[in-house]
Amino acid sequence: MTADRPASLPAAPRRRRYGLTIQSKLLVMLLGVSLASSVIVGVIGFVNGRDSLRDDAFEQLTTIRELRTEEIEREFASIQNGVVLDSRNASAVEGATALVDAFADLQATPLEPDQDAVVEAFYEETFVPALEERSGLDYAPEAFVPASPAGRYLQYHYTAQRALDDFDAGLALTDAGDGSAWSAANAEYGPYFTGLVDALGYEDVLITDREGNVVYSAYKSVDLGVNLNEEPYASSTLATATNEVLRNGSLDEVVTTDFERYLPSLNVPTAWVASPIGSATEIVGVLAVQVPIDQINAVMTGNGRWAEQGLGETGEVYLAGSDLLMRSTSRLLAENPESYVDTVVANGTPRAVAERIAEVNGTVQLQPVDFPSTRAAVAGETGTALTADYTDSSSLVAYAPLDIDGLSWVIVAHMDADEAFAPVADFTRNIVISTLAILLAVSVLSLLLAQVFTRPVKKLVDAVRRVAGGDLAVAVPQGSRDEFGDLGAAFNDMAASLRVKQELIDEQRVENAKLLHTLMPETMAARYREGEETIAEEHENVSVVYAELIGFDAHAEKLNGQEEITELNLLMRGFDDAAVSCGVEKVRTLRGGYLASSGLIVPRVDNVRRAVDFARQMREVVARFNAQTGASIELRAGVDTGTVTSGLVARTSLAYDLWGDAVNLAHRVRSVTGEPGVYVSQSVRDRLADTVPFSEVGSVELHGVRQPVWRVG
């Protein structure tokens, strides 16, 4: 019994091995070297990449700061040079002289009491209430009424009788019709000065005489006719600038002022560029141009295209003065005014100041920027820093002083650190993920390499099991050049041979299925494949079309065999297409005819109408065929509806056919007259009498009963 069952013998005991196996040693070595190298490379790449990205962020911000610096310095230089040139223009000199002289003449022209009352009412009821609402302070109206008769005169005729904010009307007013020399001078020379406002975008153009009287204002505003050396203007930067220009006595002199809250502009921050007007022998006054703050903001904001110019979602460039207050608009205020107060308050701005900024919708001389970077720039330093700013506690900042004559301004470009260093964060995350992925890949690869000696056998066993299970697409690798490689090659050859044979069998099965489907309906083909030999099915309410070609044989006598087959196929394809279009099923095709049904395979309520429509379309197909080939073929078609039987005929030569009374009657009615056309039985005519015209053409006998035959009109 032992000899018959050797498998039952106990296996020889394996000798115990101590220490690591070769597979384990190989795994440890591969893991140790690979993991160590991956970590070292990852750390080096992380440090170098992080530093490079941080440097790039600082460099980009510095570049933007430099570009803005050049633009703003060029903008102020252009304004200063323009004011110097405009003040030397002959029209400016002549106009200023005429206006100064005319103003002096008006000193002897006091207003009537009722006219004086109009001026005083303007300040009491219009200007001062508007100023107090804008500034939040209280003012005495009488402090603003010009002290001189000339000033009162001009304000009565040009200022007090129009709306305070109607600047266009003031700019267009050239002659009040008072007949004064000043109005004549304004009518003659005013267009030159107002043209500077229109062409160069100045906020306003003023002319003062040597005593500080404002003898001209392009907008004819509240400052027209006042004396800058008297209160409440004596301590203004405009008064200081005009006095400095006159004191130096040079026509080349130009003085630029910092922003100051200018009372005639309703306490809005205003900056001026002033230059003397006169000739080489005499200075008659000063031309003072109000710096257009919109142009400054346009330069600093890049016309509002921060993101497009590399500043992302939080970056901006702004100006600040030596008082550590902003001199340009804030991006945050421009883009998100609703969140401005909470944001800047959270970063150190007093709430009252923030609310005031939101109320006046302006940050100039309001928003404090007292931060290390701004203080360093005010001290004349240029550099970059990671420090706090007014919108974020951690910002990337590039700062520098500006070189603008007369101004101690600095420029600061900043961006929230989270956004500026987003590439660094992305890079860090990618490095960590990549390193972890490499470590995982190395671990898996080491494990795979350690198992390389047992894998070929395992793969071959697995492949054999899959073939046994019917998967003939399996193949084993043939990388090794040993016995395992030879065994794998032999196995692959065997599997390939089996696969080719299976594919041939599958292809033949598909071809057989296609052939069956061309011969019979799918349901009958399924029964035939299951082994049934005698198959017949009875169908009720089926319409049958039996069509016969007339004259095709005579036409075919003119053709050779290939041409005959080609044209016959052309006709039959046309019939097939018509069958598909009408929802009719083809039963079989004869050389000179066509048998089809409607409602056989797919039951249809309107099978009678479809059958008649198909017969009509067959005649249209024949007509098109005749037009294409020059033939004279006709078609007779018979249509009946009723019960039919379908099934397989014969055993050695398999054929699918249709028979029954409906087929027989359809065959017979087609030949009642012998003429081409579509002929139908009485049952078809009864079903379609209301929709299709019919004419009776004869009768046929079926089961001893004669039935009329109708022709479709």
Query: For the packed helices 181-200 and 149-158, what is the interaxial angle rounded to 10 degrees?
Result: 60
- Whole-angstrom distance between the N-terminal and C-terminal Cα of the chain? 97
Q: Say if residues 111 and 149 touch (Cβ distance below 8 Å).
A: yes
Tell me the CATH number at 639.
3.30.70.1230
Domain boundary among 423, 445, 467: 423
Q: What is the pTM of this model?
A: 0.56
Burial class (CB in 10 A: 0-12, 13-18, 19+), 479: exposed
Decide if 218 is inside a domain.
Answer: yes
Best-predicted range by mean pLDDT (29-33, 108-112, 523-527): 108-112
Asked whether residue 326 carries a pLDDT value surpassing 90, the answer given is yes
Q: What does the block give as tokens for 605? A: 């309520």
Tokens 């990671």 map to which residue? 386
User: How far apart, in whole angstroms, are the C-alpha atoms of residue 21 and residue 24?
Assistant: 5
Do 504 and 549 reside in the same domain of the chain? no
Q: What does the block give as tokens for 199? A: 């062409």
Question: How long a stretch of residues is the chain?
Answer: 713
Mean pLDDT of 9-18: 47
How many domains in the chain? 4
User: How far apart, in whole angstroms, are the C-alpha atoms of residue 185 and residue 178?
Assistant: 12
User: How far apart, in whole angstroms, are the C-alpha atoms of residue 147 and residue 152?
Assistant: 7
Asked whether residue 615 carries a pLDDT value surpassing 70, the answer given is yes
Do 96 and 231 reside in the same domain of the chain? yes
**How would DSSP label each residue in 627-677?**
HHH----EEEEEEEEEEEEEEEE-SSS-EEEEESHHHHHHHHHTTSS-SSE
Task: Answer with the residue of higher pLDDT: 206 or 280.
Answer: 206
Do 515 and 529 reside in the same domain of the chain? no
Structure-derived torsion over alpha carbons of residues 625, 628, 632, 636, reported in degrees to the nearest 10: 10
pLDDT at position 449 is 67
Do 158 and 172 reside in the same domain of the chain? yes
User: How far apart, in whole angstroms, are the C-alpha atoms of residue 213 and residue 98?
Assistant: 14
Strands 204-209 and 255-256: unpaired
Residue 16: DSSP 8-state: P
pLDDT at position 344 is 94
User: How far apart, in whole angstroms, are the C-alpha atoms of residue 509 and residue 424?
Assistant: 62
Tell me the CATH number at 371.
3.30.450.20
Asked whether residue 394 carries a pLDDT value surpassing 70, the answer given is yes
Burial class (CB in 10 A: 0-12, 13-18, 19+), 156: buried
Asked whether residue 13 carries a pLDDT value surpassing 70, the answer given is no
588 Cβ contact partners less than 8 Å away, ≥ 6 residues apart: 595, 655, 656, 657, 658
Do 366 and 318 reside in the same domain of the chain? yes
Decide if 5 is inside a domain.
Answer: no
User: How far apart, in whole angstroms, are the C-alpha atoms of residue 660 and residue 643?
Assistant: 7
Which range is least confidently modeled, 339-343, 379-383, 435-439, 658-662?
A: 658-662
Tokens 């026509």 map to which residue? 251
Do 546 and 673 reside in the same domain of the chain? yes
User: How far apart, in whole angstroms, are the C-alpha atoms of residue 318 and residue 69?
Assistant: 10
Q: Say if residues 266 and 131 touch (Cβ distance below 8 Å).
A: yes
Q: What does the block give as tokens for 230? A: 């008297």
User: What does residue 42 show for φ and ψ, rounded to 5 degrees?
Assistant: -65, -45
* Domain with 536 in it: 522-712
Q: E strand or H helix at 32, and its extent? A: helix 22-88
* Average pLDDT for the chain: 83
Decide if 135 is inside a domain.
Answer: yes
**How would DSSP label each residue in 192-211?**
HHHHHHHHH--SEEEEEETT
Residue 232: asked if its preceding bond is cis (omega within 30°), the reply is yes
Collapsing DSSP states into helix, strand and coil, what is residue 278? strand
pLDDT at position 122 is 94
Decide if 17 is inside a domain.
Answer: no
Q: E strand or H helix at 398, and its extent? A: strand 395-401
Category of 660 on φ-ψ map: left (φ > 0), alpha (ψ -120 to 50) or beta: left
Tokens 């609703």 map to which residue? 338
Tell me how far CA of residue 95 lies from CA of 17, 105, 223, in angstroms: 114, 15, 19
Tokens 């249209």 map to which residue? 620
Mean pLDDT of 32-40: 73
Query: For the packed helices 455-468 and 483-519, what is the interaxial angle rounded to 10 degrees?
Result: 20
Do 160 and 210 reside in the same domain of the chain? yes
Do 539 and 500 reside in the same domain of the chain? no
Mean pLDDT of 651-677: 71
The CA-based angle 578-583-588, given to 5 degrees, is 65
Q: What does the block give as tokens for 346? A: 């959270």
Identity of the amino acid at 88: R
pLDDT at position 350 is 95
User: How far apart, in whole angstroms, are the C-alpha atoms of residue 52 and residue 506?
Assistant: 62
Q: Say if residues 587 and 656 touch (Cβ distance below 8 Å).
A: yes
Tokens 């003012």 map to which residue? 139
pLDDT at position 317 is 95
Confidence grade of residue 555 (pLDDT, cut at 50, 70, 90): confident
Q: What does the block give as tokens for 639? A: 């249509």
Q: E strand or H helix at 544, and its extent? A: strand 536-550
Task: Answer with the residue of higher pLDDT: 123 or 559.
Answer: 123
pLDDT at position 456 is 65
Tell me how far CA of residue 167 lies from CA of 127, 221, 442, 452, in angstroms: 14, 8, 76, 90
Mean pLDDT of 266-294: 90
Biggest alpha carbon–alpha carbon distance for the chain = 151
User: How far apart, in whole angstroms, are the C-alpha atoms of residue 86 and residue 207?
Assistant: 12
Spatial CA neighbour of 93 closest among 9, 201, 185: 185
Mean pLDDT of 636-661: 72
Strands 677-680 and 634-649: parallel
Mean pLDDT of 265-275: 92
Do 239 and 358 reside in the same domain of the chain? no
Domain boundary among 403, 423, 443: 423
Do 327 and 218 reside in the same domain of the chain? no
pLDDT at position 200 is 85
Which range is least confidently modeled, 332-346, 383-397, 699-713?
A: 699-713
Do 117 and 245 reside in the same domain of the chain? yes
Do 300 and 321 reside in the same domain of the chain? yes
Structure-derived torsion over alpha carbons of residues 125, 126, 130, 132, reported in degrees to the nearest 10: -30
Domain boundary among 477, 499, 519: 519
Decide if 7 is inside a domain.
Answer: no
Enumerate the β-bridge partners of residue 206.
Answer: 217, 288
Structure-derived torsion over alpha carbons of residues 587, 593, 598, 600, reported in degrees to the nearest 10: -20
- Helices of type H across 249-316: 293-301
User: How far apart, in whole angstroms, are the C-alpha atoms of residue 68 and residue 317?
Assistant: 8
Asked whether residue 11 carries a pLDDT value surpassing 50, the answer given is no
Decide if 661 is inside a domain.
Answer: yes
Enumerate the β-bridge partners of residue 423.
Answer: none
Cβ atoms < 10 Å from Cβ of 291: 23
Decide if 310 is inside a domain.
Answer: yes
User: How far apart, in whole angstroms, are the C-alpha atoms of residue 587 and residue 601?
Assistant: 10
User: How far apart, in whole angstroms, are the C-alpha atoms of residue 121 and residue 556?
Assistant: 115
Q: Say if residues 583 and 598 touch (Cβ distance below 8 Å).
A: yes
Cβ atoms < 10 Å from Cβ of 70: 11
